[in-house]
Structure 1
Amino acid sequence: MSAWALPNDSQQPIRIQADDAQLDDKNGVATYRGDVIITQGSMKVTGNTVTITRTQTGDIDVVTSVGNLAYFEQLQTQGDTKPVQGYGVTIQYHAAQNRVVLIDRAKVIDKDGNITQGEKIVYDTNKKLASAGRANGSKVTESRPRIDMVIQPKKKTDEKAQ
């Protein structure tokens, strides 16, 4: 589950905490309910319900976190002190495609404090590309026909005192 990841996050063990768990090994589906917290390296996912599906070979396929709001955070590069943070009613991580999808009241705050909000935000973790827009085909609790972005000014390096 190495979305906006540090290079070694995917090599770390996954820890899952929840009030309840249902495991279906035959179909490769695990569902966790009740204040779910999943961590792996610098990555953290929280939600009311988290479902993890696995491929035939046992690799993680899709992690779906649903909550009010579901939450995701992860450090992007070594030395970062602030993680990228994502919020949404539904957050999906598609492992094979290296893609994070935030749906309904979607919001991403990057390490520099830049904010993107919309009905749906899709982030390609390999290319580090994000797209935001309407959640066509998905039910949303709050219609947002337009995206909203806030871009912070670049911090200037200390100038010599005059």
Structure 2
Amino acid sequence: MKFAKTKALVLATGFSLLSGLAHALPSDSSQPINIQADSAELDDKRGIAIYRGDVVITQGTLKITGDTVTITMNNDGDIDVFTSEGKPAYYEQLPSPDKEIVQAYGLTIQYFANTDKIIIIDQAKVIQQGNTFRGEKIVYDTNLEIVTAGRGKQGTITTPTPRVNMVIQPKNKDSKAE
């Protein structure tokens, strides 16, 4: 009986997480949440839920994948930090109906629910409206759609890349010069 209760709590924790993630497209938060993983565990005392094994989380246009996904709760029981680790971990979401899906890749992706920021660490890459940002570490503000790329903490990066690489598309790709 204790296993069934723990399983229900793990699933409820995942559902709470996703309601906080879906700020980009208003209809996302009203969509059903689907969490798939090979295993799940919840540590109530520490406020941590861990999903392992080809984890896929979806809700509306939101999709998060990783080998391991850890959800950390604050003292009030609200989602504090969501961490996806993989080779690579992946995040995507449609910011609004008139824009393209934002995609993020990295060995670690952290989502901070209180600030709506995503930090992509190690082999970080963000694709936003045809623009590509690559670096050791990328901070992406999902509300303001601002990307900041730079160096990661020395010793934590598996593939050091001392320079940021960005490809910015022209604003009027289809316009011809007069």
TM range (shorter): 0.7 to 0.9
* Of 130, 139, 144, the match for 2:156: 139
Q: With a CA cutoff of 8 Å and minimum separation of 6, indicate the structure with the bigger relative contact order.
A: 1
How far did residue 40 of structure 1 move? Answer: 2.0
Amino acid at match of 2:48: V
Of 85, 109, 118, the match for 1:66: 85
TM-score of the aligned structures, taking structure 1 as reference length: 0.87
Counterpart of 2:147 (choices 113, 130, 138) is 130
How far has the Cα of 1:24 moved from its partner?
1.4
Report the Cα distance in structure 2 between the residues aligned to 1:12 and 1:51, rounded to whole angstroms. Answer: 22
* TM-score using structure 2 length: 0.80
Give the equivalent residue in structure 2 for 1:91.
Answer: 109
Alignment length (residue pairs): 157
- 1: distance between equivalents of 2:56 and 2:155? 25
Match of 1:114 among 110, 113, 131: 131
Shift of 1:155: 2.6
1:75 aligns with 2:58: no
- State the Cα distance separating 1:66 from its structure 2 match: 0.3
Name the structure where helix makes up a greater proportion of residues: 2
- Find 2:58's aligned residue among 31, 34, 39: 39
Identity percentage of aligned residues: 56
Segments of structure 1 that go 5 or more residues without pairing to the other structure are none
RMSD: 2.1
SS of residue in 2 equivalent to 1:102: strand
Whichever residue aligns with residue 104 of structure 2, its letter is: G
Gaps of 5+ in 2: 1-19
* Partner residue, 1:52: 71
- Cα offset, 1:9, TM superposition: 2.5
SS of residue in 2 equivalent to 1:135: coil
